[in-house]
Every structure is written in structure tokens, then in C-alpha cells.
Copies of this chain bind each other. A is one copy, B any other.
Amino acid sequence: MTDASLVDGFLADLRPAVTWVDDHIEIIDQTKLPAELAIAELRSVEEVVDVIYRLAVRGAPSIGSCGAFGMVVGLDERQPADRPAALAVLDDLVETIGNARPTAVNLSWAVSRVRDAAGKGSDVAAIRSLVLNEAQLITSEDRDACTQMGLFGMKELAGINNIMTHCNTGRLATAGWGTALGVIYAKAASGEPVKVYASETRPLLQGARLTTWELQDAGIDVTLMPDGSSATAMAEGRVEAVIVGADRIAANGDTANKIGTFTHAVNAHYAGIPFYVAAPLSTFDTSIATGAEIEIELRPNHEMTSWRSEPTAPQDISVWNPAFDVTPGKLITAIITEVGVLKPPFEESISDAFKKGDVS
């Protein structure tokens, strides 16, 4: 079986997280999972920003894809009269959509890339065509990047069958089979035995709601565990490695990812098991030297004081609810990208990956 047929066969019957349909975006509303597989249609910029902010669409690459298609939605909605007006609309959308969530670099990267592509258009129709084309390209490139990450990761993690992951990094989070989960899907698609421990990922429970759902749906052995149990899972030998995605990676390998990641990395370090990050090059922000420069989004209190209709804490309590944390590069065994597996020292391997475009 070829690599391409492996992933095509795997994804054939599965609905993507973000799809462009005729004149609008369709997303799986991830806030409704696992109870309901609900599709939301997005026909305005307000709706695009809202679903990104509410995490109805989430995962750095999926947000990038949704934001890129949101540029088409915005252009159609605002109906600029001529080329300068169209470019001004796009400039405005780069800000409006790009700022819906601050930490994931893919979102601002995707909308800026779409804006840059639009510059070559001579009139409004040409600009719209370039914008749509670029959004589709971003999406298909992400799908291909996922395929490659899965295949590189499968080789890197050869012989490791019991794997812990955090948050959700699969087909709900990307245009393909995922980043960290892509590695797991690739192993499963190749017939390797694989057992996954998914940490809940408080407060929004992306691990409990989404990772369990999509792995179970794909027939992969998955067990849900509390976030705080990682030290024990490792000490008992239940997990042999950790693999996570990323929202932004600095030039030295410091990695912003869902809150809880840093804690799992410290525990893996203590237990002496490998800790992998899987992320496409679009997630790297080589303009920042270290993770200290990464802005961490603080989320609202209600995410921690209620679960849907049920209170989980006193309603008026003080809450510290950072959406992300920054795992120091020194705790990361390797970063799996679509151009190969980057090893420490990351300053060099990341720099090489961007210079050569190929480190495999």
C-alpha cells in the first residue's frame, strides 16, 4: 500500500472539520461533540469569528483553514466596488479574523497569506478567485503536511505502542488526519498495535469529548484519563511516550500548546520517557527567539465555574484560566514536521528546516 492510499483510504469516509461549499463554510460544531455531530454554516465574518472564539472550530490548523475561507466570506459579505476597496476589506479582515484568538500562529499566518495572494488580482473578481484559491491551497497543504507528519512520526515512534496524548490534534483539528493524532492514525492504518491514553484537557475537555470520539470512531483503542494522572500513568508503565500538537513554536523549540502540556512534559522528563511534538512548519514562529515572547490567551471564568448547565465551582470565585502553556524546548525529545523530524539543539534543526525546506 502506498503512503497516499494509506491516508486517502483512512480519510475517505470521514467528514472534514472545515469545508468550503459553494459560497459558504461548513464546520463540525465541536462544542456539540460527542453528544451530536452538528454542522454549522458560516455566511458572515461575525459567524466566523464567533465559531473560532467559542472553539466550535478549533485546533491551530483548522482555525487557519477556517480563517482563510473566512476571508472569502468577508469579501462576499462586504461587496467592495473596486480593487482598492477589496484590498482594504481584506486588510481589515486580517485584523478582525486574525485576532479572534491570539496564541495560535496559524490563524494570523493563514489570513496574512491569503491577503498577500490577493495583491496580484487586478479586479474584485480576480481578487476573490485568488483568495478562495489560496484558502483551498492552505487547506490541501495542511492535509498533505498531516500525511507526512504521520509517516515521519510512525518511523520515529517505531516499537512504541502505548502513547499518551493531550487535547485534540486529529481530524477535527486539521484538514487531514492530524498532527499528533496523525502519527497515531498512521500507526493504526499500517496495522501496528496502538493503545492511546487521552487526557481530559480541562477546562474544555477536548481530550474527553473530541479525541476519544474521533479515535473510537476510527476503531482505535483509547482510554480516557484525568489530566492529573500523567505521573502515575508513566510510573506504572501504562504509557511509553507522549505526543502532542502545538499552537506556536519559537526558534529555540519552546512550544505553546493547550494548558496541561507543560505539566505532562515535566512528568515525562521525570519518568524518563520521550515527549514528542508534532506540528507543521506553519506553526513555527521563528521571529521569536524563545517561548517567553508568546502571548498566552486568558479565557473566561465561566469555562471553569460551570460545565454547560451544571455549576462546578462557586460562581463568583476568582479563576486563573490560561488557554495555553509553554513547554521549554529542553523537555522535548523531537519535533515531528512535514519535512522531517527535528532533534535538539532546536535552534539549529529548526533554522535548517526553514533554510532547506527539507530536513528529512
A residues near B, CB below 8 A? Answer: 34-35, 166, 197, 199-203, 205, 208-209, 212-213, 216, 221-233, 235, 238, 259-267, 269-270, 304-305, 307-314, 317-322, 325-326
Contact indicator A226/B321 (Cβ below 8 Å): yes
Q: Evaluate whether A228 and B202 lie within 8 angstroms (CB atoms) in the complex, with A262-B235, A307-B312 already known.
A: yes
> Nearest B residue to A199 by beta-carbon distance?
B228
Residues of B within 8 A of A202 (CB): 200, 202, 226-228
Contact indicator A312/B270 (Cβ below 8 Å): no
What distance in Å separates the Cβ of A63 from its nearest Cβ neighbour in chain B? 21
Contact indicator A266/B264 (Cβ below 8 Å): no
A225 to B261, CA, bound (A): 15
Residues of B within 8 A of A264 (CB): 228
- 12 further A-B contacts with Cβ under 8 Å, apart from A228-B261, A232-B326, are A166-B228, A200-B313, A203-B226, A205-B313, A222-B318, A223-B317, A223-B320, A225-B320, A229-B322, A232-B259, A263-B267, A266-B267
Q: Evaluate whether A322 and B228 lie within 8 angstroms (CB atoms) in the complex, with A209-B312, A267-B263, A314-B213 already known.
A: no
Most buried by B among A35, A227, A265: A227
Contact indicator A226/B259 (Cβ below 8 Å): yes
What distance in Å separates the Cβ of A172 from its nearest Cβ neighbour in chain B? 14
Residues of B within 8 A of A270 (CB): 266, 269-270
What distance in Å separates the Cβ of A213 from its nearest Cβ neighbour in chain B? 5
Residues of B within 8 A of A314 (CB): 34, 212-213, 216
> Nearest B residue to A197 by beta-carbon distance?
B320
Most buried by B among A34, A260, A263, A322: A263
Contact indicator B312/A309 (Cβ below 8 Å): no
A333 to B267, CA, bound (A): 18
